[in-house]
């Protein structure tokens, strides 16, 4: 199961059923979730790329991945699934989200927090990342999907 590719960004925390235009879990847009199984591989890849770009932007502003092989080893050691074809910064996010309770030394994972985030509990860091990622996803939606000048 660990080595199977991840087929969808869904993480089981969907908020679009409550009317959110951007899912608080996976950060996809409401119509992307509804239509996911009907999209071509090229369309799915475009969504994955957008999510990856936004996530890397947020994560890279908080930490540095300096040893990808160590990070991959820790993910596999902790049986954390990760999107192997995406950036190592996306892997680091998976480690923070799913392994923050069992990961004490980030340096053992090939990760170093940037100075302004050192000392912040990993669960709090996850919350900061999640809020920023949701904010950027909404901003993307407002700018490119529903621009004000079209309304």
Taking 60 as the threshold, does the pLDDT of residue 1 lie above it?
no
C-alpha–C-alpha distance, residues 138 and 125, integer Å = 20
Phi-psi region of 9 (alpha: psi -120 to 50; beta: other; left: phi over 0): alpha
Average pLDDT over residues 50-74: 97
On whether residue 11 sits in a domain, the answer given is no
Average pLDDT over residues 102-116: 88
Per-residue pLDDT at 10:
87
Residue 89: count other Cβ atoms within 10 Å of its Cβ: 21
High-pLDDT (> 90) share of the chain, %: 70
| Domain extent at residue 43 | 16-143
> What is the gyration radius of the CA atoms in the chain, in angstroms?
16
- The answer to whether 54 and 136 have CB atoms below 8 angstroms apart is yes
On whether residue 57 sits in a domain, the answer given is yes
* Domain total of the chain: 1
On whether residue 112 sits in a domain, the answer given is yes
On whether residue 8 sits in a domain, the answer given is no
Tokens of 31: 């119509």
C-alpha–C-alpha distance, residues 54 and 1, integer Å = 27
C-alpha–C-alpha distance, residues 147 and 151, integer Å = 7
Per-residue pLDDT at 15:
86
On whether residue 89 sits in a domain, the answer given is yes
- The answer to whether 22 and 30 have CB atoms below 8 angstroms apart is yes
Taking the CA atoms of residue 96, residue 26, residue 86 and residue 64 in that order, the dihedral angle to the nearest 10 degrees is -30
Using DSSP's 3-state secondary structure scheme, residue 28 falls into coil
On whether residue 3 sits in a domain, the answer given is no
Q: Does the predicted model carry a pTM greater than 0.85?
A: yes
37-57 confidence digits (pLDDT tens): 999 999 999 999 999 999 999
On whether residue 104 sits in a domain, the answer given is yes
């Amino acid at each position: 199961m660990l080595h199977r590719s991840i087929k969808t960004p869904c993480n089981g925390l969907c908020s679009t059923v409550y009317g959110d235009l951007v899912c608080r879990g996976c950060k996809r847009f409401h119509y992307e979730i509804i239509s996911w199984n009907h999209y071509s591989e090229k369309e799915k890849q475009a969504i994955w790329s957008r999510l990856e770009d936004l996530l890397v932007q947020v994560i890279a502003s908080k930490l540095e991945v300096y040893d990808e092989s160590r990070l991959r080893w820790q993910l596999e050691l902790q049986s954390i699934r990760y999107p192997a074809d995406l950036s190592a910064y996306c892997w680091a996010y998976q480690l923070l989200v799913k392994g923050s309770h069992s990961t004490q030394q980030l340096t053992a994972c090939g990760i170093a927090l940037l100075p302004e985030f050192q000392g912040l509990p990993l669960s709090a860091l996850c919350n900061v990342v999640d809020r920023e990622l949701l904010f950027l996803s909404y901003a993307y939606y407002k700018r490119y999907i529903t621009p004000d000048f079209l309304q």
